[in-house]
Chain A
């Protein structure tokens, strides 16, 4: 039972354009959502998060949007840069601070 889903396994965006990565969840008890970035053979690094009481959180080029009624969140990166090329995971926090991750979306930013 995949409670956190990232339906797009890959995404290609031109440098300077906006990257939009999507994530859907099924568990209405999740109260905190996070995005991580991962390079090959490294651990994921935390990017940005949002509490379920908010619908938007912005940090520099990164903005996360949360639509609770649709159980959907998205990460916007603008402008996209070649260094943003990586796998992005969304995660949701449930009971006992347990984080459930999605399957990831590979972002490729092209020149």
Chain B
């Protein structure tokens, strides 16, 4: 069966510090991978998605970047965090089928920038 691991679960970082959140998927090959953010009181905003190694699409201009160094590894980074980067970050994966696709989410990382 497929599983998704996302860590850490919670993180408190000072403004201006770097960020690295990691996500790995097991039990599937060549998944589509996603990073979403849920800001307080808001919906799920798609930040990045990837259809293959080294292929990253950015949805919104921001202070963050993403990388996919391996097929089942997706990393969210920042060189210098801003207060506005605080939020709940979610990694997800999906494998398209002819009938459609469901995305499966990790448990999320609560990031607080102080």
- The interface size bin for chain B is 20 to 34
| A99 closest partner in B (C-beta) | B103
Q: In the complex, which of the residues B46, B51, B88 contacts A100, with contact meaning CB atoms closer than 8 Å?
A: B46
Q: How many residues of A contact B (CB 8 A)?
A: 25
A91 to B110 CA separation, bound complex (whole angstroms) = 22
Report the minimal beta-carbon distance from A61 to chain B, rounded to whole angstroms.
19
Q: In the complex, which of the residues A41, A45, A97, A100 contacts B105, with contact meaning CB atoms closer than 8 Å?
A: A45
Query: What are 21 A-B contacts defined by CB distance under 8 Å?
Result: A42-B107, A43-B92, A44-B90, A44-B105, A45-B105, A46-B102, A49-B100, A49-B102, A51-B99, A89-B43, A91-B44, A96-B51, A97-B51, A97-B94, A98-B34, A98-B49, A99-B34, A99-B46, A99-B92, A101-B36, A103-B43
Which residue numbers of A lie inside 8 Å of B, CB to CB? Answer: 6, 31-32, 34, 36, 41-46, 49, 51, 89, 91, 93, 96-104
